Structure 1
Amino acid sequence: MEKLSKFVEFVSGSPQSRLFVSMNESDPSYCIYGQSELKADLVQSETASNEGRQIRTPDKVMILSEGDIIFYLVSGEASVVGKKHVGYLQTQNFIKLIPNQDLDAHYLVFLLNQDHNIKRQLVSSLQGTMVIKYTLAQLKALRINKLPPIDEQRLIGRMYFNQIRLNWFRKQSADLKLKIAMNQLRKD
């Protein structure tokens, strides 16, 4: 087993509480990347909600690009940033993960979200704490099993994302069918 830090560079987000909030219209405005954006990126949803929080600041901030791998320190979930969230502000609750050439991005997300060994390490590192929030140090210290060949990683990573998207479509379909049935019952 090797440390995740051997394969990944970690970039912390901007500390939101330290940003100067400006009312000056000439200062850039940023949408803040949050849990709902992470969930949408995980299912590769093409719809973007405009309900998210925004901040206007002249400060230098960390912004996200399409394809960035992001890890949410609060939930312990990872995803790949989609087109709809390009330019969003990355807060200190998120860590950007930059894998080297030996680790496929989608496979990395699969490992962080599904690998029982990693989940066990994350949970055991929280024992005795009242607030459930992971740290950058805990993430860097994760140990992973020997990586499969890169082609196999790509296949597993793509299958993982396709399965999540398929499950999301099935849930959307079931929700719509229920809504239609309830509307029919109201009419009768």
Structure 2
Amino acid sequence: MKMTDLVSFKLGSPQFRIKETLAKEAPLYQMYSQLDLEEDLAGVVSDHQENKQVKTLDDVSTLKTNDLVFSLISGKAALVSPEHAGYLYTQNYLILEPDERLDDKFLLYLLNEDKGIARQLWLGLQGSMVLKYTVKQIKDLKLPKLPSLSKQAAIGQVYLKQKHLQAVKKRQADNELTLQLAKLEEVLKNG
């Protein structure tokens, strides 16, 4: 079964067509980035760099909480967190809306972890000068045989919990390293 049989697609706003303005009544949008996607996938939001902002009166594509967003740059997908709801997304991102036969968290798992899908994506990049996925490539992905919806939901939940746990453990390890390095520096100073 192809993705197009179960999923509808919304491409983000073409960035080069957005007309910026200084008009007071124009809304100011944060632009969704690859780092935002990684945070959404990990379920951990950090206080990182400021996102690029754009002020425009144009009708632009914005994200909602739990949108399934796919990066055409990295080939990774995530569910949008409440922290990134309302962010403007560009043509580098695609929103995937699965129908009732496909659990969104299971689709997330497939896109990020399924070896068959990874192989299809990789083969689609062969011979390409720019390593960027195309909308056609995503639409043409062949999905494996799907388990029952309840199994899909269970797999998707476990996957998200594991990604979150992995991110928390990494943050803890990074913090421990920082602490130990500070202690070593103190030992060197005191001599």
TM-score, length-normalised on structure 2?
A: 0.95
Query: 1:184 matched to which residue of 2?
Result: 183
- Partner Cα distance (1:49, 1:103) in 2: 33
CA-CA distance at 1:126 after TM superposition: 1.2
SS in 2 for 1:167: helix
Query: 2:84 matched to which residue of 1?
Result: 85
Query: 2:74 matched to which residue of 1?
Result: 75
Which 4+ residue blocks in structure 1 deviate beyond 6 angstroms?
Answer: none
Compute the RMSD of aligned alpha carbons: 1.0
Q: How many residues align?
A: 187
Query: 1:166 matched to which residue of 2?
Result: 165
Assess if the C-alpha contact under 8 Å between 1:22 and 1:57 holds in 2. yes
- Partner Cα distance (2:48, 2:15) in 1: 21
Assess if the C-alpha contact under 8 Å between 2:44 and 2:167 holds in 1. no
Identity of aligned residues (%): 39
Query: 2:9 matched to which residue of 1?
Result: 10
Query: 2:122 matched to which residue of 1?
Result: 123
SS in 1 for 2:125: coil
Query: 1:108 matched to which residue of 2?
Result: 107
Report matched runs for 1:22-171 at 5 Å.
22-47=21-46, 49=48, 51-171=50-170
- Partner Cα distance (2:47, 2:79) in 1: 15
TM-score, length-normalised on structure 1?
A: 0.97
- Partner Cα distance (1:91, 1:99) in 2: 20
Assess if the C-alpha contact under 8 Å between 1:5 and 1:141 holds in 2. yes
* Consecutive unaligned residues in structure 2, runs of 5 or more: none
